[in-house]
Amino acid sequence: MKRIMIVDDSSTIRKLINYILRKKDYLITEAEDGLDALEKLIETKVDLVIADLNMPNMDGIELVKSLRNNFYHIDTPIIMLTTTRDENLKKSALEAGVNLFLNKPIQPNLLLYKVESLLEGEKNE
Ligand SMILES: [Mg+2]
């Protein structure tokens, strides 16, 4: 079974994504910001990361940079949650190594489809 990490400072959003992903039997690890995510990744292996862009302590872009500099996460698929206001930041996020963006509010079916596609792509490499 695939494990997905949800990184968002909003517990409501984490709960929502958790609820959506559990329909497809994914295992879930939650983290409340980039620092918390990095700490949890020391002991937990994940197949995909869904990260918010705006977070305290360590934001989404810093988290992505840190993951891409880590041997184990060079190729881990990363979906970033953004709002339409974040257009300029998206460029930095892409350069840092985000695979794709999903706009909030989250559309459950789109999220499931994108997660599945990214996990499939990983398997075919
Ligand atoms: Mg946030």
What are the extents of the domains in the chain?
A: 3-124
Q: How many whole angstroms from 63 Cα to the centroid of ligand 1?
A: 13
Q: How many whole angstroms from 73 Cα to the centroid of ligand 1?
A: 22
Q: How many CA atoms lie within 13 A of 39 on its CB side?
A: 9
Picking from 6, 30, 2, 24, the residue whose alpha carbon sits closest to that of residue 78 is 6
Whether residue 125 has pLDDT greater than 80: no
Q: How many whole angstroms from 125 Cα to the centroid of ligand 1?
A: 32
Q: How confident is the model at residue 124 (pLDDT cuts 50, 70, 90)?
A: low
CB 64 within 8 A of CB 93: yes
3-124: CATH class: alpha beta
**Total count of residues recorded for the chain:** 125
Q: How confident is the model at residue 55 (pLDDT cuts 50, 70, 90)?
A: very high
Q: How many whole angstroms from 31 Cα to the centroid of ligand 1?
A: 12
Q: How confident is the model at residue 84 (pLDDT cuts 50, 70, 90)?
A: confident
Q: How many whole angstroms from 51 Cα to the centroid of ligand 1?
A: 9
